[in-house]
Amino acid sequence: MARLKNKVAIVTGGTKGIGYGIAAEFLKEGAKVVLCGRNQETGVTAAAELGNLDGQVVFVPGDVGDIESLDDSITQTIDHFGRLDIYVANAGINDPEKTHFLDITPEQYDKIMDINLRGMFFGGQRAARQMVKQGDGGVLINMSSVNAHLALDSQMVYTTSKGAIQQLTKVQAVALAQYNIKVNAIAPGPIDTELMRRVGSDKQLMNTILSRTPMGRIGTPSECGRLAVFLASPDSDFIFGQSIYNDGGRGFQAFPTPGYKTLSDEEYELFQRLSKENT
């Protein structure tokens, strides 16, 4: 039986990467999905591809850093499907380049925090208001990261935002429990996304990441999607305010795994080729 049958979900940043993987798994479980993203062409293409899963999916252009856009995404969701049951706050950006703490500008800080934290805060607020209005509960899922607790000094603003998201998840859960709105977060490790492909352009760094990931591989967006299905379904109804790590063990591996397998030149070239094809 489809676990999300007739549920309506918004997935921000749902046109590619982890968001796309979540949307696909939601559709397979019977949900109706609204993809939100800033790029019109990418969004239309993603909706067309996901429509082949025989689910109902639409693309709504929007920017989570803009409050009016957040409001519009809720309004359009209600116009399309009549209600909102699940809100996945997945949209996020990373530091575009490695910047030392001493050199980060207020503009850099604000750009990342506006999307990663402020957008998640007010997007969740807007979604929860609609769920409260409907009167029968709902689900918020926030996208954190294994870097919420790993000190990655080359991505200082990004990691700071992800740490804050875990606390936001807890306080949202407490504030919304009385309305039967369940709030949890997913904290991925290395996942095959556009960001990971940029990281993977450095073979030595890629091998370092794998050496500290006990499973010895990077994860897939669909694996994040299946976790999101679990958190959105009644199967997880007593899981509350938690950040669930989907990281292959990356978060607790302090030293290289004994005998870990490095990427051969052939495997690395294949990774690069597949990454380019899927970008």
Count Cβ atoms within 10 A of the Cβ of residue 90 and give its class: 0-12 exposed, 13-18 middle, 19 or more buried.
buried
User: In sequence order, which residues have a C-beta less than 8 Å from that of residue 221 and are 6 or more positions away?
Assistant: 17, 18, 19, 20, 21, 22, 24, 191, 192, 193
Indicate which residues carry an active-site annotation: 158
State whether the Cα torsion 182-138-61-274 is positive or negative: positive
The full length of the chain comes to 279
Residue 4 has phi, psi (to 5 degrees) of -120, 30
Compute the chain's Rg from CA coordinates: 18
* Residue 92 Cα distances to 123, 173, 224, 235, 263, angstroms: 13, 21, 15, 27, 29
In this structure, are residues 89 and 124 in contact, taking their beta carbons and an 8 Å threshold? yes
CA–CA separation, 266 and 14 (whole Å): 32
* Pairing, β 86-89 against β 57-61: unpaired
3-class secondary-structure state, position 12: strand
DSSP secondary structure letters along 72-92: HHHHHHHHHHS---EEEE---
